[in-house]
Amino acid sequence: MSENTTWPGMQFGIFTVSDITQDPVSGHTPSEAERIRNTITIAKHAEEVGLDVFALGEHHNPPFWSSSPTTTLAAIAAQTERLLVSTATTLITTNDPVKIAEDFAMLQHVSNGRTDIMLGRGNTGPVYPWFGKDIRQGLPIALENYALLHKLWREDVVDWEGKFRTPLQGFTATPRPLDGVPPFVWHGSIRTPEVAEQAAYYGDGFFANNIFWPAEHYQRLIALYRQRYAHYGHGTPEQAIVGLGGQVFMRANSQDAVNEFRPYFDNAPVYGHGPSMEDFTQMTPLTVGSSQQVIDRYAGMRDLFGDYQRQLFLMDHAGLPLKIVLEQLDILGGEVVPVLRKELAKNRPADVPDAPTHENLVRKTYGDAEPRQATPRANRGDNLTSGSPYQDTPQPVGSAFGAAATRSA
Amino acid sequence: MSTRRIAVISAGLSNPSSTRMLADRLLAATARELAERDIEITADVFELRDYAHDITNNLLTGFAPSALETMINTVVSADALIVVTPIFSTSYSGLFKSFIDVLDPDALRGKPVLIGANAGTARHSLAIDYAIRPLFAYLHADAVSTGVFAASADWGGSGDQVATLSSRVDKGARELAEAIARRSPVVDADPFDPANYLGEGRSFGHLLGGLAGE
C-alpha cells in the first residue's frame, strides 16, 4: 500500500451512482439497507486495496438511495484512515448553496480534510420541480449558486442578492472551512461548454464523466477548459486540473470477463438493451477483459486528454453483487492501479500540478505559516455590522459597545 | 457562381424505395432552379434505414455513435434540407420521427426545408400539413409553403392529371431555391468557441450578470 501512495501526481478511485438494481444473474434485488451497507463496505475496501478516492452520486428518487451524500461520506470517513471522500455529483442546481457550504465544511472537519466535491446539474427532470426550481433555468441557477457557494467559503460575512434564492445580509456560513481552505471543487459536465468555462474562470478542476459518450466529446470539452484556464491566468493549459471517469470489468482470462459481465451490461440502466457490449466498449472507455487490457486502455488516456490528476472507475452498478465488486477492487487495486501510477508518472512534466489534496491546498495558501483557525468572538450581532465575527479579524473602530469600543484597532 | 449544400433525408424503408425516388426528384428540380439563379449545389443524401440501429441506440444511451454523429453534423450544417417520409398510420414514419428526436431541438432553427411524403393513395396527402409541417414549425425550421405528396398512382398515368407530380415537384423546388437564394451561406458555428457561447468579446462575468459587476 505504501508503494501505491508514494506518487502524489494522480489519485485513483471509484465512483458510484447508488443504483439499486436487480442482479440479472441471481434475480436478487438488495434492500435499501443492504445496498447502503454494501456501499460502505465497498468504500472501505477501496482504501484497503490502495485506492485514494471514493465519490458518491446524489439522487432523489428510487431505485437510488443516495439522497444525503455527506451523511454517508462522514460515516465512510469515520471508518477509514486515508481515503478521500467526494461526490459524483452534488446537485448545484437544486441544493441550497448555503447548505452545501455548511455540509461540506462540516465534512471537511470530521474527515480531517479528506473531502472534496464535484458539482453537476443533475439529469433527473422532476428533481427541479420537487425542489421548487425550473429546469429551463438549470444553467443560470448553477452559475449563480456556485458564485454564492464560492463566496460563502471565502468571506466570513456575506451580503448577497441573486435571482434564485432569498437574499443574505450579514450571513456567516459555519463552520468556516478547515484551516481556512475550502474543499477543492470539480465541475462535472458531459456537454456544456459554459461549465468548462466556469471551472476555468475559478481555477477549479474539471471532471469528464467519460462513461456514456465517445472520447471526442470530452476531448473538446477538456481542450476548451484547458485553454480557458490559461486565459483566466491560472497557469498553462497543461496545468489545469482534470479528472476522468471510466468503467471496467476484469478477469484473468479476458473471455471470462466478457461472459461474466455481459448479462450485467445487457440489462444495465441507461445503456442496457441498446448497443452491443462490443460496440459500447469500442465507443466508450468501458473495458471488459484482462487487467492488462485495462492498463493499456487507461494508460492511453493522457494521449487523449493530456496529463491529468484523477481517475475514477464505476465498479458497482447494474446489479453486480458485493462479492464480485470486492473481487474487482482487488484486481483494480492489486494489478491495475500500481502499474497505471508508474506508467502515467513516466515523462510527466515537472510543472504539471499534483492531484489536489487538503494538505497541498494548505501549503499553497499559507506556505510554512500556520493555517487559520477560525475562533469566534462572543456574538453580539457584530457579524452584521463589522468585517467578521472571528477573532483574527480586527474590529473596525466604533463597531462595538463597552470595553471593545475603547480598544485600539 | 456561388455554392450551397443541401442535405436530403429519405425515410423510406424498402430498396428501391418510392420515398427515395421522390427525394431524388425534389433534389434534381431544386438543383435546376438554383442553377438558373447562378447557384451551384452539392448534396448529401441519407437513407435513414442505414442509420436505424444507431438512431435507436442514440435514443437509449443519449449519444450518437460516430457514423450517426457525422451524419447529423452534415445535416444540421447544410444550407437547406429536403426531407421525405412515407406516411404510416396517418403520419411520418416512426424512424423519421426518431431521427428528428435525436437532433438538438435548436439545430434546424431558421433552416429552409422542403417537405415531401409518399403513400399508397392520395387520401393521405394532407398528412404533410397536419402532421409533418407542425413538427418543423415546432423546430422553428422554415418549411416552404408547398409540400410535395406523391401517391403510388402519381408515378403512372392514373395520378393527378391537373396538378401533376412533376408540376408540384417543380413548385416546391422553386420555393426552396428562392429561400436558399435569399440567404447567405451557412457558417458553421463551433459550439466550443467562447465567442459563440459567451458572445463576441464577452467574458464569464457576463454569464453571471450583475454578480460579477460586468
- Domains of chain A (ranges; CATH) run 11-373 (3.20.20.30), 375-409 (no CATH)
Which residue among A217, A224, A274 places its CB closest to the CB of B61?
Answer: A274
**DSSP per-residue string spanning A258-292:** HHHHHHHHHT-TTTTTSS-HHHHHHHSS-EEE-HH
**pLDDT band at residue A92, thresholds of 50, 70 and 90?**
very high
Which residue among B62, B65, B211 places its CB closest to the CB of A162?
Answer: B211
Tens of pLDDT, residues B44-81: 999 999 999 999 999 998 889 999 999 999 999 999 99
Of residues B209 and B159, more confidently modeled:
B159
Percentage with pLDDT > 90 across chain B: 79
Q: Can you name the residues that pair with A403 across neighbouring β-strands?
A: none
pLDDT at A34 over 70: yes
**Chain A contact for B62 (CB, 8 A cutoff):** yes
Which residue is associated with the grid cell 421525405?
B84
Predicted confidence at residue A4, as pLDDT, reads: 47
pLDDT at B208 over 60: yes
**Chain A contact for B138 (CB, 8 A cutoff):** no
> Are B197 and A197 inside 8 Å of each other by CB?
yes
Task: Sketch out chain B's domains with CATH numbers.
Answer: 2-183 (3.40.50.360), 188-214 (no CATH)
The residue-averaged pLDDT of A257-286 equals 93
Out of A5-19, A45-59, A326-340, A367-381, pick the least confident. A367-381
Predicted confidence at residue B204, as pLDDT, reads: 87
Which residue among B65, B194, B211 places its CB closest to the CB of A197?
Answer: B194
C-alpha grid cell for residue A242?
Answer: 482534470
Question: How long, in residues, is chain B?
Answer: 214
**Chain A residues inside the 8 Å CB shell of B192:** 193, 220-221, 223-224
**Chain A contact for B195 (CB, 8 A cutoff):** no
Going by the DSSP 8-state scheme, the letter that residue B131 receives in this structure is I
The residue-averaged pLDDT of A191-215 equals 92
Out of A88-102, A344-358, A368-382, B25-39, pick the least confident. A368-382
**pLDDT band at residue B214, thresholds of 50, 70 and 90?**
very low
The residue-averaged pLDDT of B93-114 equals 97
**Chain A residues inside the 8 Å CB shell of B57:** 274-275, 279
Q: Among all residues of chain A, which has the CA nearest to that of B64?
A: A213
pLDDT at A396 over 70: no
Predicted confidence at residue A381, as pLDDT, reads: 61
pLDDT averaged over every residue in chain A: 92
**Chain A residues inside the 8 Å CB shell of B66:** 214, 216, 283
Distance (Å, whole) CA A60 – CA A355: 31
Predicted confidence at residue B161, as pLDDT, reads: 86
User: Which is nearest to A243 in space by CA: A292, A305, A295?
Assistant: A305
Mutate to test the interface with A, among B98, B106, B207 (most CBs of A within 10 A): B207
Name, of A261-275, A329-343, B184-198, the range with top average pLDDT: A329-343
Q: Among all residues of chain A, which has the CA nearest to that of B65?
A: A283
Q: Among all residues of chain B, which has the CA nearest to that of A195?
A: B204
CA distances from A306 to A28, A116, A240, A349, B202 (A): 42, 22, 10, 11, 28
Those residues with Cβ within 8 angstroms of residue A52's Cβ, 6 or more apart along the chain or in another chain:
A5, A11, A12, A13, A82, A83, A84, A355
pLDDT at B140 over 60: yes
Predicted confidence at residue A216, as pLDDT, reads: 84
Predicted confidence at residue A219, as pLDDT, reads: 93
**Chain A residues inside the 8 Å CB shell of B60:** 271, 273-275
pLDDT at B1 over 80: no
